[in-house]
A = this chain, B = another copy of it.
Amino acid sequence: MVSIISRSLLSCANCCRIHVFLYMADSFFTLQTTDTATAARAGVLHTDNGNIQTPIFMPVGTVGTVKSLNQQQLSEQVRAQIILGNTYHLYLRPGIEVLEAAGGLHRFMNWERPILTDSGGYQVFSLASNRKITEEGAIFQSHIDGSRHLFSPETVMGIQRSIGADIMMAFDECPPYPSEYGYAKTSMELTHRWLVRCKNYLAENPPLYGYSQQLFPIVQGSTYADLRKASCEFVASLGAAGNAIGGLSVGEPDEMMYEHTAACCSYLPENKPRYLMGVGTPWNLLECIALGVDMFDCVMPTRNGRNGMLFTTQGVINIRNKKWAQDFSLIDEGLPPESRLPYTKAYLRHLFVADELLALQLASLQNLSYYLWLVGEARKHILQGSFSVWKAEMLLQCKVRL
């Protein structure tokens, strides 16, 4: 990681304290502050494609595009620091041959900042048909053309090498909610064996494009406390650059998700970033940041946005509602200037009612900008020592139905 540290030295010329700290840490993750009243943390992830300030939300760019937005909008307006790609989708389209010929996903889609890819396991179980899980891996049929494929720890690591993600997720099985104890335990143990195979594959197959790729293992264990603990301990023992909590936000009540997230955070190493997969609403993010989570991803801001649900600094809006027909105030005055859309609620409502494509673009811009603003504000307050008070107020504000 010496090259990364050198970069940090260059970019932190005016900040001697962090500068020295980074040098001493010599790590993928710099933990800057932990909140005194909660377990919330502020830190920095260092990748060869740039740094990421945590806590962070990662917009989902399933198939090499965050739906309806271009990459300039994503970097300049949304101010996304890292985006997520889906291994399953990218493997099927455009396919590994095209991605390798392009020199990886960054170059293919012209996105210079970091990318994280999931392992494809979740999509195999939620999208593909005729899937069969064996010790070797998962055999499935493509949801696009019915063609048959095998995803194994080795093939999935190979695909993520070809994609060139800065952060790669281990291949796992994500059990549904609810799951029987026996199934959850067997599944977790399989995920652990797969994890070792992922690690071994990567040790023998270096990155393709001249920059580092980090593997994040995934904690499973369904909703069973002892399994979660065992999974965290196994995952922690591998000493990965960062660790993910999977198998939550799959239908269980929010309180149960918080309970297991809190437990996992307490077991996982403090000096490594923690990524809670597939979460969630703005209030989910606030609660889980308070529990010690550093990274999030979710399709909610884009998917719900495309259905006319807006997240704003004032609360939640159903923009299709007749009440906005003559509301000529801006969509969200509270966002910073670069993210603030210069259009009114009345105009955006009209675009939705008239089924216009621009509606999808503007709603996606608004919601992602809001999510990035929210985690940025959280970070600011963690660094300032005011997170707890701010969070209590923001929890009320973000749930308001306008």
Q: A residues near B, CB below 8 A?
A: 63-65, 67-72, 89, 93-94, 97-98, 101-102, 108-110, 325-326, 328, 342-344, 346-347, 350-351, 353-354, 356-358, 360-362
Instruction: Across the interface, name the chain B residue whose C-beta is closest to A365.
Output: B70
Inter-subunit contact A343/B64 (CB<8 Å): no
Residues of chain B within 8 A of A70, CB atoms compared: 343, 358, 361-362
Contact across chains for A108 and B358 when beta carbons are under 8 A apart: no
Docked-complex contact A357 and B360, CB < 8 angstroms: yes
Shortest CB-to-CB span from A374 to chain B, Å, is: 23
Interface pair A354/B101, CB less than 8 Å apart:
no
24 contacts between A and B (CB under 8 A): A63-B354, A65-B351, A65-B356, A65-B358, A67-B357, A69-B358, A70-B358, A70-B361, A70-B362, A71-B342, A72-B342, A93-B350, A93-B353, A97-B326, A101-B328, A102-B347, A108-B344, A108-B346, A108-B350, A109-B343, A110-B342, A357-B360, A357-B361, A361-B361
- Write out the residue numbers on chain B whose beta carbons fall within 8 Å of the beta carbon of A326: 97-98, 101-102
CB atoms of A108 and B354 under 8 A apart: no
Pair B357/A68 contact, Cβ less than 8 Å: yes
B98 engages A346 (CB within 8 Å)? yes
Cβ contacts under 8 Å, A68 to chain B: 357-358, 361
Residue with the greatest number of chain B CB neighbours at <10 A, chosen from A67, A97, A108: A108
- The answer to whether B108 and A64 have CB atoms under 8 Å apart is no
- Chain B residues whose CB sits within 8 angstroms of the CB of A93 once the complex forms: 350, 353-354
Report the nearest B residue to A359, measured CB to CB.
Answer: B65
Chain B: CB-nearest residue to A72: B342
* Distance in Å: Cβ of A175 to nearest Cβ of chain B: 29
Given A67-B356, A361-B361; 16 other pairs, CB 8 A cutoff: A63-B354, A64-B350, A65-B356, A68-B358, A72-B342, A93-B353, A94-B325, A94-B350, A94-B354, A97-B326, A101-B328, A102-B344, A108-B346, A109-B347, A357-B360, A357-B361
User: Which residues in B have their C-beta under 8 angstroms from that of A98?
Assistant: 325-326, 346, 350
Beta-carbon contact of B346 and A94 below 8 Å: yes
- In chain B, what residue has the closest Cβ to A357? B68
Q: Inside 8 A of A342's CB, which chain B residues have their CB?
A: 71-72, 110
- Is there contact, CB below 8 Å, between B346 and A63? no
Q: Are B94 and A343 in contact (CB under 8 A)?
A: no
Inter-chain contacts of A360 with B (CB < 8 A)? 357
A357 CA to B66 CA, complexed, in Å: 9
A343→B63 contact, CB < 8 A:
no
On whether the beta carbons of A346 and B67 are closer than 8 Å, the reply is: no
| A349: nearest chain-B partner, CB-CB | B94
Shortest CB-to-CB span from A333 to chain B, Å, is: 15
Residues on B with beta carbons closer than 8 Å to the beta carbon of A89? 354
Shortest Cβ gap from A264 to chain B (Å): 34
With both beta carbons as reference points, the residue of chain B lying nearest to A100 in the complex is identified as B326
Cβ contacts under 8 Å, A325 to chain B: 94, 98
Q: How far is the CB of A348 from chain B (nearest CB, A)?
A: 10
Contacts of A94 in B (CB 8 A): 325, 346, 350, 353-354
Q: Complex Cα distance A69/B73, Å?
A: 12
Query: How long is the Cα–Cα vector from A109 to B361 in the complex, in angstroms?
Result: 15
Nearest CB in chain B: distance from A339 CB, A:
13
Q: Which residues of B contact A343 (CB under 8 A)?
A: 70, 109-110
The 3 closest A-B pairs by CB, nearest first: A68-B357, A94-B350, A65-B358
On chain B, the residues within 8 Å of A354 by CB distance are 63-65, 89, 93-94
Closest to A342 in B: B110
Measured CB to CB, the closest approach of chain B to A101, in angstroms, equals 5
